Chains A and B, each alone.
Chain A
Amino acid sequence: MTHFLEVIDLKKHFPGVKANDGVNLTVKSGEVHAILGENGAGKSTLMNMIYGLYQPTSGQILLEGKQVEFSSPRDAIRSGIGMVHQHFMLIPALSVAENIVLGDEPGGIQYNRKEAVRRVQQISDQYKLQVDPTRRVADLSVGLQQRVEILKVLYRRAKLLILDEPTALLTPQETRELFEIVGHLKAEGIPIVFISHKLDEVREIADVVTVMRAGKTVETLPIGDATPQDLANLMVGRDVVLRVQKNPIQLGNKLLELRGIHVRDASRHERIRDLSLTVSEGEILGLAGIDGNGQSELVEAVAGLLPTTAGSIHLAGQDITRVRPFDRTELGIAYVPQDRQRDGLVLDFDLVENIILRDFHKSPYSKSGAINYRAARAYAERLIREFDVRPADADRKAGELSGGNQQKVILAREVSRDPRLLIAVQPTRGLDVGAIEGIHRQLLRLRDNGKGILLVSLELDEILSLSDRIAVIHDGRIVDIVDGDSATREQLGLLMTGVKSTAETRGERV
């Protein structure tokens, strides 16, 4: 195997930050090379240099043995480097083929649609991507959109494919399909750089793994030699607890009771049908299910953001079905929403303002309508310290923080309000091992303090490792509730397709 890509002692210094400080990397032809590291370890900076978005401060990038200097992504693409970003760059209104050929259309002045479709179809067949070139991108699931992005790269004759956190937005099924595709590409001899912070995935898909920490490459090793524990320790730089230890359950009174609720979404479709569920004090109830089966509507109904059309919601015996969201917050419901940038934070506000986002009207943060920024700042700084938000600067705008640190801010705010019930939706999505560990600890600490937790997650491992009981939702109904200690992935996987109540399974949903 030849060295396809070589990176030698690459450095990228921004004012005040050494984003990359001595990175060495060798990617051979036909291998899947994982770059593993926590958020902020410098993975993205490295990739952006390889892709021509940033210019290195010093060091070399060699492509097939020759030194390259890219001044823009266009140069990188021309040299055969293809990158699929975490957030897709597709035009929803256009067809798959149109999206792919955009900027490099077949035909002269007149666009040759047939030829475009034919070429895209051919590449799709060659790499077994199974994408229909004539469909509109807006109609495709996230997993399929990602394949369109991959096709786009292949259409431009990429010789190296960089996948930046490709599974962050995928369902477990879609992830499996992506891995098959990666396998096909590898078989065709295309080296793949796979950026991730998920240990399991890296172990499943990669041949070689390079671990990055604090802007440096720490170690490169064949995947066969690495245990998850080793990798986690290398990433974080200390010994990490991968499996959280749970204390025996101390079940209290019934806290949240949903009695036969029906909920319609914003476009008036009934998404929750006759659903009943109970969360008690001192337990973590995991809600497992395939994305889009009513989880968001259920959670928004409990938070008061969507009205119920029938049934009732009770908190500690009190009927809160008609209580405003504001008052539900006061009654002790905390909520970590799924979309932290859309719902959880005001990105233009600094951390002080975000941390008091729910409590700005209360003493000591305000008094007769005037905000006391001194008290708010002291509180924010304390939370930033306790939850290890980085950078530890209360004046930063929330939008300037990494995803993991944004999540820490939300969690800090919600947990520190001393709630009775915490609703946590995908609380660790997109976070790295160290951060996940911290967040799981917080959830368990709340549980041990007698709070109730409704944990909604698409990650079965997260559900399995934390939940005392697991409710499986399918098509707006609870299919079954199983014991958290004895449940298995297979059992949950089956329930998630709704098998217990109906024989038919639903198709892929976005």
Chain B
Amino acid sequence: MKSVWRAIGTPVLASLIAIIIGGIIAAAIGYNPLQVYGSLISGAFGGAIPLGNTLAGSVPLILAGLGIAVAFRAGLFNIGAEGQYWIATVAAVWIGYHFKGMPGFLHLIFMLVVAMVVGGLWGGIIPGLLKAYRGAHEVITTMMLSYIGILFAQYCIEPGGPMLEKGYQPQSPAVAQNAWLGSIIPNSQLTWGFAIAIVAAVVVWWILFHTTFGFQLRAVGSNQFAARYAGMNVPLYTVLALGFSGVLAGLAGAVQMLSQDHRLTQSFSSGYGYTAIVVALLARNNPFGVILAGIFFSALSTGSQNMQLVSGIPQSLTDVLTGLIIFFVAAERLIPMALTWYRRRKSGRLQVSLPEGGRTDG
């Protein structure tokens, strides 16, 4: 129990501090913090439909967040999840409307697998090989490839693009309807994609902590010298880890597409691949933490509309909250430091009653 608290203590504390500061900001600009947060919470969790929408919004964050967490565990920084998400979806959508007439379940699996392979190639194998054998830093390569992926997807559905559905606003044809992911809560956006995300988290956890693959991935991530010494193939695991990371980002794209729009549209992502970095960070790369952090960030986003409607405060307060959380999680050492300072101050106060004899000047 103690270790659980130690693991989640800092992220929870960071979020709480951010929420408190956010409340102070709200109060300072003339809003009632309790009302602001009350409306945020009721907008995110108040009732089956808001709850369903919050959970639905968490799906791409959880899946892409798992991917980023896997890369972090291997000591790698995959910041191109957004592009992997897009490019994998392009592939899945193409499969989805080209192979009509397949049994729905098989078609679904086909799309998910293709998306994972493409995401893995885009996010992992290419940057991984470049990193492992040419020393190109993965932050640069994943980011650059990410732009290529995003822009390529946009191009596909632009006027004149290869996947444009004629006569409509920029979008592709829909994928076969029998392969769509069905909804869990009627009238909400929540589909069986959420179950896929939960299963993925369990699988990632199991792979990381219970397989030789995960063992080597983590060993390479936390000390590549010792990994090399132990006979592990460090370059190979760099490639595999980034590949695994891309697979999950690709899965995020396909699941999101099959749950919501069922086609490629220009507004297909609202920066999930980037928010997922924060999700992984807040979760401290723990797969189960990723589920909680994904839901948390999704709640901020779904709740913010209601918050604006009810309390009148601009939605962008949630961006402030997100920023504060990132700050406090990234500066996690601030919290132990503050605790030490507080303790020292307390013990300093006790010392007042003791003789002051020793404070000689050097």
Known: A69-B354, A348-B222, A360-B215. A325 touches B228 (CB 8 A): yes
Is the Cβ of A360 less than 8 Å from the Cβ of B212? Answer: yes
Is the Cβ of A346 less than 8 Å from the Cβ of B226? Answer: yes
A77 close to chain B: CB less than 8 A: yes
Is the Cβ of B212 less than 8 Å from the Cβ of A366? Answer: yes
B362 close to chain A: CB less than 8 A: yes
A359-392 residues with Cβ-Cβ distance < 8 A to B are 360-361, 366, 369-371, 373
- Which chain B residue shows the least CB distance to A330? B231
Contact segment of B32-40, B172-180, B344-352: B344-352
B193-218 residues with Cβ-Cβ distance < 8 A to A are 210-213, 215-216, 218
B58-103 residues with Cβ-Cβ distance < 8 A to A are none
The residue that A342 contacts in the complex, of B218, B219, B225, with Cβ under 8 A, is B225
Which interface residue of B210, B212, B216, B355 has the most chain A CB atoms within 10 A? B212
Residues of A within 8 A of B231 (CB): 324-329, 358
Known: A346-B222, A357-B226. A63 touches B360 (CB 8 A): yes
Is the Cβ of B211 less than 8 Å from the Cβ of A371? Answer: yes
Instruction: Report the separation of the CA atoms of residues A361 and B227 in the bound assembly, to the nearest whole angstrom.
Output: 13
Instruction: Report the separation of the CA atoms of residues A369 and B240 in the bound assembly, to the nearest whole angstrom.
Output: 15
Known: A67-B355, A329-B231, A349-B222. A369 touches B211 (CB 8 A): yes
B229-278 residues with Cβ-Cβ distance < 8 A to A are 229-233
Is the Cβ of A335 less than 8 Å from the Cβ of B229? Answer: yes
Is the Cβ of B227 less than 8 Å from the Cβ of A346? Answer: yes
Q: How far is the CB of B149 from chain A (nearest CB, A)?
A: 31
A329-345 residues with Cβ-Cβ distance < 8 A to B are 329, 335, 337, 339, 342-345
Residues of B within 8 A of A44 (CB): none
- Which chain A residue shows the least CB distance to B215? A360
Is the Cβ of B219 less than 8 Å from the Cβ of A346? Answer: yes
Is the Cβ of A326 less than 8 Å from the Cβ of B229? Answer: no
A55 close to chain B: CB less than 8 A: yes
Which interface residue of A303, A353, A360, A373 has the most chain B CB atoms within 10 A? A360
B358 close to chain A: CB less than 8 A: yes
Instruction: Report the separation of the CA atoms of residues A79 and B223 in the bound assembly, to the nearest whole angstrom.
Output: 41
- The size of the chain B interface, using a CB distance under 8 A, is 31
Is the Cβ of A371 less than 8 Å from the Cβ of B357? Answer: no
Q: How far is the CB of A364 from chain B (nearest CB, A)?
A: 13
A238 close to chain B: CB less than 8 A: no
Instruction: Report the separation of the CA atoms of residues A77 and B361 in the bound assembly, to the nearest whole angstrom.
Output: 9
Residues of A within 8 A of B216 (CB): 360
The residue that B210 contacts in the complex, of A62, A79, A342, A370, with Cβ under 8 A, is A370
The residue that A79 contacts in the complex, of B222, B229, B230, B360, with Cβ under 8 A, is B360
Is the Cβ of B213 less than 8 Å from the Cβ of A369? Answer: yes
Residues of A within 8 A of B357 (CB): 66-68
B333 close to chain A: CB less than 8 A: no
Instruction: Report the separation of the CA atoms of residues A409 and B218 in the bound assembly, to the nearest whole angstrom.
Output: 19
Residues of B within 8 A of A64 (CB): 360
A394-443 residues with Cβ-Cβ distance < 8 A to B are none
Q: How far is the CB of B57 from chain A (nearest CB, A)?
A: 33
Q: How far is the CB of B234 from chain A (nearest CB, A)?
A: 11
A86 close to chain B: CB less than 8 A: no
A113 close to chain B: CB less than 8 A: no
- Which chain B residue shows the least CB distance to A376? B215
Residues of A within 8 A of B222 (CB): 346-349
Residues of B within 8 A of A370 (CB): 210-212
Instruction: Report the separation of the CA atoms of residues A348 and B209 in the bound assembly, to the nearest whole angstrom.
Output: 13
Residues of B within 8 A of A358 (CB): 230-231
B134 close to chain A: CB less than 8 A: no
Residues of B within 8 A of A157 (CB): 362
A78 close to chain B: CB less than 8 A: yes
Is the Cβ of B215 less than 8 Å from the Cβ of A371? Answer: yes
Instruction: Report the separation of the CA atoms of residues A309 and B207 in the bound assembly, to the nearest whole angstrom.
Output: 39
The residue that B215 contacts in the complex, of A67, A77, A353, with Cβ under 8 A, is A353
A122-166 residues with Cβ-Cβ distance < 8 A to B are 156-157, 159
Q: How far is the CB of B225 from chain A (nearest CB, A)?
A: 5
Q: List 28 A-B pairs, Cβ < 8 Å.
A: A55-B347, A67-B358, A68-B358, A68-B360, A69-B358, A71-B348, A71-B351, A77-B362, A80-B362, A325-B231, A326-B232, A326-B233, A327-B231, A329-B230, A335-B229, A337-B229, A342-B225, A343-B229, A345-B226, A347-B223, A348-B222, A349-B219, A357-B226, A360-B212, A369-B211, A371-B210, A371-B215, A373-B210
Chain B contacts to A: CB under 8 angstroms: 210-213, 215-216, 218-219, 222-223, 225-233, 344, 347-348, 351, 354-355, 357-362
With A68-B357, A339-B225, A345-B223 given, name 4 new contacts (CB 8 A).
Answer: A71-B351, A79-B359, A325-B231, A326-B232
Closest 7 CB pairs between A and B?
A68-B358, A326-B231, A78-B362, A348-B222, A343-B229, A346-B223, A357-B230
